[in-house]
Amino acid sequence: MKPTTAQIERWIKQAERDLEAARRQLAIEVWEQCALLCEQAVEKYLKALYMQREGQEAPKTHKIADLASSLGAPNGFYALLQQLETDYLATRYPDTTVAAPFEGYTEQIARDRLNGATEVIEWARRQMQSNN
């Protein structure tokens, strides 16, 4: 079934909210949650772009590097996207690393994820505008 404009807009609105929440988590020094929300914001924006461009539901996946590749994202994004994919699990589950998730994240890591996520999202926005 072809997604409606309203459905795509809901994905974008939630992505924007996730990105804002990531900024707030950075400000209160909850760095692992900042990284997780960056992954979520990017994933939702890429899925919105996919739905707009392909005219079908986005794949049910958290493999955002693969999704970005299918959308022709710049090669410079892939290292960040792979880090965000790792963050999706590492920020949530204590058994994915040797420490509690929050212990593996620093302010610099969170800032890097936020800056990178913002760059990917800005690219996705431009793609969506050029598709209209």
Count of C-beta atoms within a 10 Å radius of residue 59:
14
Distance from C-alpha of 35 to C-alpha of 55, rounded to nearest angstrom: 30
Which pTM does this prediction carry?
0.95
The domain locations on the chain are: 5-131
pLDDT of residue 111: 98
Residue 27, pLDDT > 70, answer yes
132 vs 25, more confident? 25
**pLDDT band at 94; cut points 50, 70, 90:** confident
- Give me the architecture of the 5-131 domain, per CATH: Up-down Bundle (1.20)
- The mean pLDDT of the chain is 95
Asked whether the beta carbons of 118 and 23 are under 8 A apart, the reply is no
pLDDT of residue 132: 67
pLDDT digits (tens, 9 = 90+) for 108-129: 999 999 999 999 999 999 999 9
Residue 96, pLDDT > 90, answer no
Residue 72, pLDDT > 70, answer yes
**pLDDT band at 18; cut points 50, 70, 90:** very high
DSSP state letters, 86-132: HHHHHTT-GGGSSS-GGGG--HHHHHHHHHHHHHHHHHHHHHHHHH-
pLDDT of residue 99: 85
